[in-house]
Structure 1
Amino acid sequence: MHPIEIELWYRASGSRRDAAQSEVQTLVEEAGGSVTASVQIGAIGYHGLKCEVPSNVIQALASGDFEGVRVVKSANVMFLRVSGQSLPPEGDVVASVPRTELHDLPQGNPVVCLLDGIPATNHPLLSGRVSVFDPDEIGDGVSADERRHGTHMSSVAIWGDLASPDVTPAARPVLVRPILAPSAHTANRSEEVREVDLMPDLMRRVFRELFEEDEDGAAVASEVVVVNLSVGDPATPFDTIISSWARMLDWLSYEYGVLVIVSAGNHTRLPIPMSQAEFSSLQGEERRQAMLDAQESDRVNRRLLSPGESINALTVGAAHADAATASLPPYLADPADGHPAVSPITAFGGGYRRSIKPELLAPGGRAVFTPSVIGSDPIIFRNGGPAGPGIRVADPVNAGETHISGTSPAAAEVTRYAAKLVDELERIAPGTLFSRRERALATKALIAHSAVAPGQDYADHTASRATTGNGVLARDLTAGCAENEATLLFLGAVPPGHSQELLLPLPDGLSQLGAKRVSATLAWLSPVNWRHRQYRQASLSFSKPGGGIPDLKAGQYRSHAEVTRGATTLQRLDWEVRSSFAVGYGDDLALTVKCFGQAGVQDPGLLEFAVAITLWVDDSLGVDVYSQVAEQITVRTRQAIRP
């Protein structure tokens, strides 16, 4: 028997839902199967069944013989998929390099939680740095060697790329709530979601366990702000309709005030219109362009994997980059031939109603392949290996290390940075009691604000532009600002139909001709209405900055129309001018945030948001932006609290 999931159309009344389930259950039983579990979640319009069916049903589905599977033809069935979001096994391992004695163990409580596989908690690089909350006892009976994906993602969330020269561990421990387990139905017992779990129900249960208080008034994850999901469903690529998994994450993210970071998904096969030998013979930019052309031609098959289309989540794609320095062995080929590029395996294509997805890229390791000398079969990218390239991570086998690539380590790297930003918020505003929602919004805005618009080598191709989102994660705002720039973070709330003006104090010295840049990022979490086409119930946006400064024209990398399109909950724009500003110390740059209700919103009250604004002036102009802005903020703060 094989497990399958059936998602039914969510009927308006309980009696109609019961009748629909009864009809589908009868069809499953007539095929020789059985229904093992059922779940209904009214908040997101979900009605799902977990079933077991004979092998002949799976074979008929695989061969396209839908006439032979009556349950597929039922008017009550919305989706049917074979269960399991499995992950491919990784490559061999190398010995671990001693690092732990150079760094203290983390302090405090976790602020990030990974929903992933079971980590090898006794690995030298993870011991004392990862905490596991496993109420389902998934880890019972699982050998250390089988704890691959959870170990790899925990390693990245704690250390980043182990090949980086300045690698330092996370200041806080990382919490892992296992949702993946080795499966007897997969090659090498690869990890996948358990056969008994329906993802929307599992997500709802996990969030309740983490954030709701128990009988003693304590929550398991009281300080967790960020939840990471470096897992996707290859059976559910996004195709205009938001999946039940993504809908559940949207609802939970808003309900609990949590930032969810998800991976865009991987596509490890790339069809090319030539033989692999011909492709490998191309040099430099010519080979990179051929790779991008192939990605664009195969765009329909490289869509986001569920739940990457979630509107409240921050979706991360992979850049073709890592810190490995060793040369490639002669039997491996780099599809970009050493040039900067989006990863050839990253998913892309936009989110719901053509909103920008993924929102940003992060280093995901260089994906390489072994060229075939004959034929024109699709390129199949390898899963990693001991010599690299790729993101270097801890591996459970012999407490060693290996290299991996894809959007999973990219999302884990962004999660690692998110943990630093949560602590930075406490540092810059000591004693302030931020709510979990405020910390989540600030973190979401600052992550996107840390992305840098890709250079021409990234943005010169349709496939690159569709994949890079708001840019590539390249700045660390926790390292502070240079003298010629200042970044301000605003936290606010506004009801639908209203607006709020934000003011950034300006320095003297702007009257000089020279490059000046304004960057602004707005982030929020929206309630959702699954019954309405618009889906998102809170639409926020900001106007072009004003306040006496010259007209900033259109956005530098993305236009206003692009960043506000669809059902986004993130807006990032950059403007650069060389003209003189007829303003100075004592004047303000003004940014207005507006809020509109959508999708039949029923008075949600105040919608909280976070905005990050940066003013940058070319260093050659000699303007101390940071000190002048900070001085004015200090004066205004003192005036505001004066009795």
Structure 2
Amino acid sequence: MTDRPLLWFPQPQPASRSKLQSAPGRVSTPSHERQGARVSIKLSQLQEAFEARRAELVRAAAGVDPEQVLVIETVGAVEDFAKAVKKIEGLEWLGEIEVDELPPDEDFHDLKDPEKPLKGRLYLVLTNQQALNELLSLWRHYKDQDDPKLKFDTGLTKFRDVFCHLLDIRRWGPADRLLETGVLDVWREELNDPDLQNRPVRFEAELWYRDSVDKRAESESVVRGLVNSLQGQVITSGVIPGIRYHAVLAELPASRIQEIMDAPETELVKCDNIMFFRPVGQMTSGETPVDDYAEALPPRSEEFPGGAPVLAILDGMPYVSHQHLNGRIVLEDPDGWAEDYPASERVHGTTMASLAIHGDLGENSAALTRPVYMRPIMRPDARDFRRPRREVIPTDSLPVDLVHRSVKRMLEGEGEQPATAPSVKIVNLSIGDYSRAFMQSISPLARLLDWLSSKYGVLFIVSAGNQLEAVPLDMTLDELEQLSQSDLERKTITALLMNARSRSILSPAESINGITVGSIHFDACVDAGVANRFDPYSSALPSPVSSFGSGYRRSIKPDIVFPGGRQWYQKPYIGRQAVSLSVSGSMAPPGNKVAIPGQTASTDSTGYTRGTSNATALISRAAVHCYETLSGVIDATATAGYDDSYTAPLIKAMLAHGCSWGSIGSRLVDIISEQQSIKNPVSFASRWIGYGLPDIGRVLECTEQRATILGFGELSDAQAHLFRMPLPPSLSSVREWRRLTVTLAWFSPIQPSNQKYRCASMWFEANNPVANQRREAASGNSGWQAVRRGTLQHEIFEGDWAQPFVDGDSLVLKINCRKEAAAIDSPVPYGLVVSFEVREGVQLPIYQEIRDKIRIQPAVPVRQGPII
């Protein structure tokens, strides 16, 4: 136990929730007459398209009133439109999507800035002919009246608001199902690969989720019939009501896929039961290095771990016979994959386990004292003819279904079998979907992680994803070789910034409840220069392979960054043409030193790897250290009122609490500021480094000059808690630099069919007279808004003036909660971490004074439940 352990806040006081202020911009809309004319044309086109498709379907199934999906696009949002939709028989609400950057025109534009892109919504509604007729009747009622604000019948007034802001209305068609998922590119690649072109092509068809069990069964039956009619088959299907997910995994002969590529207007592609077609086999850890580099490392004399695992890794199969992993992993292989998973190809799971257990082997850190639970969800790709093959989620599984079953088996149990690792509080997921870069809609896998974290109280730590494409530089090789290392760094960063839109975080990194981790270009390796490779940087900056955010609804993503190894590049060989920097995938240094199986499956081989997967595994290791610290503090203080539901939110807050931008942020903002096209360099930097680089040691113990205090509670809509931190008397009227750091974390329930998605919005406010200058809130001047959009709020405040206060004065923190996407069914647990400090070496007993004042305050109220 440290001499200065973390402290606990006393009982928070109930309070009324603060009101949020907002000043949305005003948008010019068309006149009633103009809107009537333009929308009437669109509705006529919709009616014709609906009738044409209906005629096709009726011929195929006489006596059936077919249902079709409508896309209703508005400028701005019409809240609670779903309630109005449910008032019309035959209409079924499917969901809504937020749209950014709608181009302004003479009909719709911002009144203050006519050139400013607008925001909008896509409302997705299932309708039959009867319901469409009712919708058209409502439109005629709106169009024909002189007063556009005249009320509709009870419950239908939202249709009036939609008509006023309507931009477009159309059917959901083949282009929607195919174009934005990357499936056509993957199909084209497979059809052109001579080793794959004669094999059946597998794909996922994500269906519109229907509330009715019978409707879901009917929908799946229709899709199965269409697949069978094309000489294909459905491999499996999955339904998860908690995230409104329904999908089938199917395969078709290559010739049939080619027909779809040539003429997409086939019955399968036009099927109104299908929302998206998605490729399979793209959920991977990235490319596996194929060189034979390996170093032997002598065994380390450390005790084997004990106790129950708190960290789980869902990844590839680890090489458990490796001397650095043997006896340290609880391996769960319920599907028996080990039998045909060669030891030499157990690369990624082995490296992730090595980093989580030992850290970077180059740092010679102590191993975790608990075993790590591992469940393989990736296997060698049967379509890859290299050795070792890349590891992917197998093409005979739906990724969402596989992850769901894995977590449920671990934490709840499966069938008659009890949970295999109910003690787990942290889950490492260092994989990403290379066909699904985050744009605007949250992916099914991210929805799953959010739902599971809220349901089970477990923290998912997710990699932001690696971008392995070449980096184009606007210069020749000769010009490149003339650059100083500092100028090369600046040119590389600039090239990455200009391509940021195509280097977005990969699903499921947009998860709002998880911690998303980016990579910093740093490691403990001594340089080992190779003639044909070079370092594009001169300092520790975001790795050139680390993906850009933001997250859902412009929330902070990635949340944090951590050293994931230095990524060197291959030296170009073309002298007179513009060059591109290509990733060097070697196991040779530099990078994080890790255990590897090597090509001969030796038990002592090590190599060097790099990327966001590494950073994620290292943060997962840090999360275990946070757990151990938290466990020790609870045991030592016998904290009343604490139960297991607060553990994961507190770990989440602890991981981010030591974050700051430091020199990384300063250097990055300096380079970004040179780009005239980027209006807010600080905000743009946050899309790459989030809250910054965490100093984990700061949150594991206190110092004489720094006190760190933990708090917890649970809140429902319109509730708030007040925490009081005693101010140290020795600082009164003293002109001395001081810093206040506040981190709040929770797991929000979700509502997948609502664009707001997050059910529980929480935020803190600080009545802070002693350090009230906001130093770091990611995204610059608007950072106070950005940090409130997710489920992790982290801010740093500073001051240095002589502020008088009397003995007994406190700094008051208010934690607020309000419902957002839907009602909060049960109180939501949260974790709070607060640090107050002065400069190191200043002779002020900050820790002792705060500790002594807290001890005489009322204790935390008792709440029954298990403790750690």
TM-score, normalised relative to structure 1: 0.93
Q: Aligned partners of 2:725, 2:342: CA distance in 1, in Å?
A: 55
Partner Cα distance (1:282, 1:21) in 2: 59
For 1:560 and 1:225, locate their aligned partners in 2 and report how far apart those are by CA, in whole Å. Answer: 35
Q: Are residues 1:632 and 2:853 paired?
A: yes
Contact 2:572 2:580 survives alignment (8 Å): no
1:4 alignment partner, SS class: strand
Matched, 1:226 2:426: yes
Q: 2:334 aligns with which of 110, 127, 135?
A: 135
Q: Match for residue 323 of structure 2?
A: 124
Say if 2:737 is the partner of 1:515. Answer: yes
In structure 2, C-alpha distance between the alignment counterparts of 1:240 and 1:551, rounded to whole Å: 37
Residues 1:444 and 2:652 aligned together? yes
Q: Partner of 2:337: helix, strand, or coil? A: coil
Q: Quick check: 448-457 or 146-155, which moved more?
A: 448-457
Instruction: Indicate the larger mover: 504-513 or 426-435.
Output: 426-435
Counterpart among 389, 394, 400 of residue 595 in structure 2 = 394
Q: Tell me: CA distance 1:163–1:57, structure 2 relative to 1, closer, same or farther (3 Å).
A: farther
Which residue in the other structure is 1:531 paired with? 753
Change (3 A) 1:403 1:513: same
Correspondence 1:406 to 2:637: no
Matched, 1:236 2:436: yes
Q: CA deviation at 1:394?
A: 0.3
Does the Cα contact within 8 Å between 1:130 and 1:175 map onto a contact in 2? yes
Provide the rounded CA distance (Å) in 1 between the counterparts of 2:481 and 2:232: 49
Alpha-carbon contact 1:258-1:436 (below 8 Å) kept? no
Change (3 A) 1:323 1:70: farther
Match for residue 176 of structure 1? 374
Moved more, 307-316 or 64-73: 64-73
Q: 1:151 to 1:38 in 2, by over 3 A?
A: same
1:286–1:38 CA distance, 2 compared to 1 (3 A): same
Does the aligned pair in 2 maintain the 1:384–1:405 contact within 8 Å? Answer: no
**Structure 2 gap segments, 5+ residues each:** 1-199, 673-680, 863-868
- 2:556 and 2:686 in contact (8 A); partners too: no
Change (3 A) 1:15 1:280: farther
Gaps of 5+ in 1: none
1:251 to 448, 451, 475: 451
% same residue: 31
- Supply the distance in 1 between the matched residues of 2:634 and 2:535 (Cα, whole angstroms): 46
Q: What residue number does 1:36 align with?
A: 235
Contact 2:559 2:690 in 1 (8 A): yes
The corresponding residue for 1:106 is 305
CA contact (8 A) 2:315 2:375 kept: yes
CA separation of 1:584 and 1:191: change in aligned 2, threshold 3 A = farther
Question: Could you report, residue by residue, the CA deviation over 1:129-179 in whole angstroms, capped at 9, with x for unpaired residues?
Answer: 111011122222222101111001000000111111x42111111110111
Counterpart Cα distance in 2 of 1:505 and 1:240 = 43
SS of residue matched to 1:51: strand
The reply to whether residue 269 of structure 1 matches residue 466 of structure 2 is: no
The 8 Å contact of residues 266 and 347 in structure 1, kept in 2 or not, is answered as yes
Tell me the amino acid that sits aligned with residue 554 of structure 1. R
Q: Which position in structure 1 is the counterpart of 2:58?
A: none
Which amino acid in the other structure matches residue 304 of structure 2? L
Q: Pick closer, same or farther for the CA change 1:600–1:124 going to 2, 3 Å.
A: same
Deviation at 1:325, TM superposition (A): 1.3
Q: CA deviation at 1:73?
A: 4.1
Query: Deviation of residue 579 (structure 1)?
Result: 1.0
Moved more, 350-359 or 453-462: 453-462
**Rg larger in 1 or in 2?**
2
- Cα distance between partner residues in 1 of 2:810 and 2:446: 40
- Distance in structure 2 (CA, Å) of the matches to 1:252 and 1:339: 38
**1:364–1:4: structure 2 CA closer, same or farther, 3 Å change rule?**
same
The partner residue of 1:161 within 345, 349, 360 is 360
Q: Measure how far apart 1:55 and its partner are.
A: 2.7
Aligned to 1:379: 581
Output the CA distance in 2 between the equivalents of 1:339 and 1:594. 40
1:482 has 2:703 as partner? yes
Checking the alignment, whether the CA contact within 8 Å between 2:533 and 2:584 is kept in structure 1 is: no
Instruction: Flag as ranges the 4+ runs of structure 1 deviating above 6 A.
Output: 214-217, 638-641
Q: 1:195 aligns with which of 387, 395, 401?
A: 395
Q: 1:482 to 1:293 in 2, by over 3 A?
A: same
Deviation at 1:81, TM superposition (A): 2.1
The within-5 A match list for 1:460-475 is: 460=670, 461=672, 462=681, 464-475=685-696
Contact 2:430-2:613 within 8 A present in 1 as well: yes
Contact 2:774-2:798 at 8 Å conserved across structures: no
Distance verdict in 2 for CA 1:161–1:30, change over 3 Å: same
d(CA) in 2 for partners of 1:66 and 1:517?
63
Per-residue displacement from partner, 1:272-319 (whole Å, max 9, x unpaired)? 242462345422322122112111111121111110011111110111
| Partner in structure 2 of residue 363 of structure 1 | 563
**Selected match of 1:288 from 489, 495, 507:** 489
**What is the match of residue 418 of structure 1?**
623
Match of 1:556 among 768, 772, 776: 776
Residue aligning to 1:590: 812
Change (3 A) 1:476 1:372: same
The answer as to whether partners of 1:66 and 1:73 remain within 8 angstroms in 2 is no
Do 1:554 and 1:560's aligned partners in 2 also have CA atoms closer than 8 Å? no
Q: Distance in 2 between matches of 1:550 and 1:427?
A: 31
Deviation at 1:70, TM superposition (A): 5.4
Give the match for residue 83 of structure 1. Answer: 280
Equivalence for 2:798: 576
Aligned-residue offset at 1:122: 0.7
Q: Tell me if structure 2 keeps the 8 A contact 1:585–1:628.
A: no
Shift of 1:347: 1.0
Kindly provide the amino acid, as one letter, of the partner of residue 174 in structure 1. Answer: V
Distance 1:217 1:274, change over 3 A: closer
Residue 299 of structure 1: aligned partner: 500
Q: Cα 1:318–1:27, aligned 2, differ >3 Å: closer, same or farther?
A: same
2:446–2:509 Cα contact (<8 Å) kept: yes
Q: 2:840 aligns with which of 619, 625, 630?
A: 619
Q: CA RMSD in A?
A: 2.3
Task: Report how many residues are paired.
Answer: 632
CA deviation after TM superposition for structure 1 residue 465, in Å: 3.2
Output the amino acid matched with 2:462: V
User: Distance in 1 between the 2:711 and 2:556 partners?
Assistant: 23
Query: Which amino acid in 1 is paired with 2:498?
Result: S
Q: Which amino acid aligns with 2:381?
A: S
Cα separation, 1, equivalents of 2:586 and 2:263: 37
Aligned to 2:524: 323
Decide whether aligned partners of structure 1 residues 26 and 281 sit closer, same or farther in structure 2, where only a CA change above 3 A counts. farther
1:504 corresponds to which residue?
725
Q: Is the 8 A contact 2:741 2:796 kept in 1?
A: yes
Report which stretch shifted further, 234-243 or 506-515: 506-515
TM-score, reference length from structure 2: 0.70
* 517-526 vs 389-398, greater mean Cα deviation: 389-398
State the shift of 1:567 in Å: 4.1
Q: Is the 8 A contact 1:116 1:179 kept in 2?
A: yes
Distance 1:13 1:212 in 2: 26
CA distance in structure 1 between the aligned counterparts of 2:727 and 2:770, rounded to whole angstroms? 13
Change (3 A) 1:578 1:185: same
User: In the superposition, relative to structure 1, how do residues 332 and 495 fare at CA in structure 2: closer, same or farther (>3 Å)?
Assistant: same
